[in-house]
Amino acid sequence: MAEPTLRAEQPGDGDAIAAVTAAAFGKQLEARMVGAIRASDRFVPELSLVAELDGRIIGHVILSYVDLVGEPVTTRVLELGPMSVAPEHQRRGIGSALIREALHRAEARGDPVVLVLGHPWYYPRFGFRPASQLGIAAPDPELPDEVFMALPLQSYDPGLRGRVVLPPAFAAT
Ligand SMILES: CC(C)(COP(=O)(O)OP(=O)(O)OC[C@H]1O[C@@H](n2cnc3c(N)ncnc32)[C@H](O)[C@@H]1OP(=O)(O)O)[C@@H](O)C(=O)NCCC(=O)NCCS
């Protein structure tokens, strides 16, 4: 089978990204969340990546900035998600390729860490571990420890600690 091309999203990709997101999650919430992130000041166009096959978008991952509220400073750090692969294209490595490319770009920008709220059976293979191990508390203290994860990058600084506060875009309904 042909390999999908990975590239940053372009103006005009929004509807196709929303469609693949809704198909992957089986509901609209996460698609609206992606739209709200894109419309916010936390969006980084080069960190919203699509996988394209025969001119069709079949996967998407987004990294955007959330707040890490520490003492005494609040820092903006990257969080991954939502991410999606079209159901008929799942389990072929497309999600993994998107994540690796997104992490490579975050590393190249000099970002110190990437967070994710997600499946504990998926993200550890990329090096994510419970964020609590780095002194980074989840936005919701009720979340099980293993679902809120962090991946330190090359410029990681252990002083980067605190509680994550999600910007309004993540509260899309
Ligand atoms: C999670 C998701 C992005 C992964 O994308 P993908 O392209 O299928 O992932 P990859 O092919 O890189 O990796 C697949 C591996 O993930 C694991 N996996 C996938 N689905 C799984 C499931 N339902 N239960 C347990 N493990 C699963 C397996 O280890 C699988 O490898 P295998 O097929 O060799 O067993 C995709 O399944 C998806 O869009 N899911 C719905 C939306 C979602 O949950 N998004 C992530 C929110 S955190």
Residue 91 inside a domain? The answer is: yes
What total number of domains does the chain contain? 1
Quickly count: other Cβ atoms within 10 Å of residue 129's Cβ.
Answer: 14
Residue 33 inside a domain? The answer is: yes
Q: State the pLDDT at residue 129.
A: 98
Query: Structural domain of residue 21, as residue ranges?
Result: 5-168
Q: Is the dihedral of CA 36, 26, 83, 118 positive or negative?
A: positive
Q: In this structure, what are the phi and psi dihedrals at residue 157, rounded to the nearest 5 degrees?
A: -125, 120
The rounded radius of gyration (Å) of the Cα atoms in the chain is 15
Residue 57 inside a domain? The answer is: yes
Q: How far is the CA of 147 from the centre of ligand 1 (A)?
A: 15
Residue 76 inside a domain? The answer is: yes
Report the residue among 30, 53, 91, 125 best suited for mutation to probe ligand 1: largest number of ligand atoms under 8 A from its CB: 91
Residue 173 inside a domain? The answer is: no
Residue 104 inside a domain? The answer is: yes
Q: Give pLDDT tens digits for 131-158.
A: 999 999 999 999 999 999 999 999 999 9
- Tens digit of each residue's pLDDT, the chain (173 residues): 689 999 999 999 999 999 999 999 999 999 999 999 999 999 999 999 999 999 999 999 999 999 999 988 999 999 999 999 999 999 999 999 999 999 999 999 999 999 999 999 999 999 999 999 999 999 999 999 999 999 999 999 999 999 999 999 999 88
| C-beta of residue 16 within 8 angstroms of C-beta of residue 55 | no
51: domain CATH number is 3.40.630.30
